[in-house]
Chain A
Amino acid sequence: DQQVKQNSPSLSVQEGRISILNCDYTNSMFDYFLWYKKYPAEGPTFLISISSIKDKNEDGRFTVFLNKSAKHLSLHIVPSQPGDSAVYFCAASAGRGSTLGRLYFGRGTQLTVWP
């Protein structure tokens, strides 16, 4: 059973607008959340993360919001650029300090930013 869910397989946004990618999780033990971006024929690259002790983390155009009570997080990209077109994966782990470091991934959302 999937513990991390990305219910929108695709999202299309005009350049300059905001992109909002959503992610839900079921395991209340998750305490660290990450977003990865993946271009075709490349490996995923780490984008931004958030610990469960925070509800927001910002890095340039990228902001991640965490709502623990709803078990929901979202990635906001403002303003969106054509180079942001990629598959975005949400991931979660239980125990950031764990030596195992196992991540649970969602199925991904294909973001397309058009001019």
Chain B
Amino acid sequence: DVKVTQSSRYLVKRTGEKVFLECVQDMDHENMFWYRQDPGLGLRLIYFSYDVKMKEKGDIPEGYSVSREKKERFSLILESASTNQTSMYLCASRPYYQPQHFGDGTRLSIL
């Protein structure tokens, strides 16, 4: 069974802090994704990666960066956290020709 693990379920940070959200998958998937989910806005793609050290901007990359140094790990970085980045963050991975599998999410609050 596919396992996508996000390092924290809940996180509280302060404005201006640099925040790291970690995601690990155990199935050797090439593609990995970061989304945020906000009420009434659905799932919006922040960044995705189709291989190690590769990254592509999604629809809302401003204020975020990503890192993929190893195939199993995809990190989302908030360079200088702001209150409008308070959200549910979801990581997903997928092998070729298969649907994306999601982690359980990180509820991030920026105070």
- Name A's B-contacting residues (CB within 8 A): 6, 9, 34, 36, 41-46, 49, 89, 96-97, 99-103, 105-108
Contacts and interface: CB of A to CB of B under 8 A. Distances in A.
A33 to B, nearest CB: 11
Interface of A is mostly: loop
Given A43-B4, A45-B102, A100-B48, A89 B43 contact: yes
Contact of A102 (B9, B30, B45, B103): B45
A41 B56 CA distance: 27
Interface of B: 4, 9, 30-31, 33, 35, 40-45, 48, 50, 56, 58, 90, 92, 94, 96-97, 99-105, 107
Contact of A46 (B4, B40, B56, B99): B99
B110 to A, nearest CB: 19
Given A99-B31, A99-B96, A101-B31, A107 B102 contact: no
A102 B48 contact: yes
A41 B102 contact: no
Contacts of B50: 99-101
Given A99-B30, A100-B48, A44 B43 contact: yes
B7 to A, nearest CB: 14
Contacts of B45: 102-103, 105
Contact of B56 (A100, A105, A106, A107): A100
A43 B56 CA distance: 22
7 contacts: A44-B43, A44-B102, A46-B99, A96-B97, A99-B30, A99-B50, A106-B42
A27 to B, nearest CB: 14
A103 B40 contact: no
A26 to B, nearest CB: 15
B80 to A, nearest CB: 27
Given A46-B100, A97-B97, A108 B105 contact: no
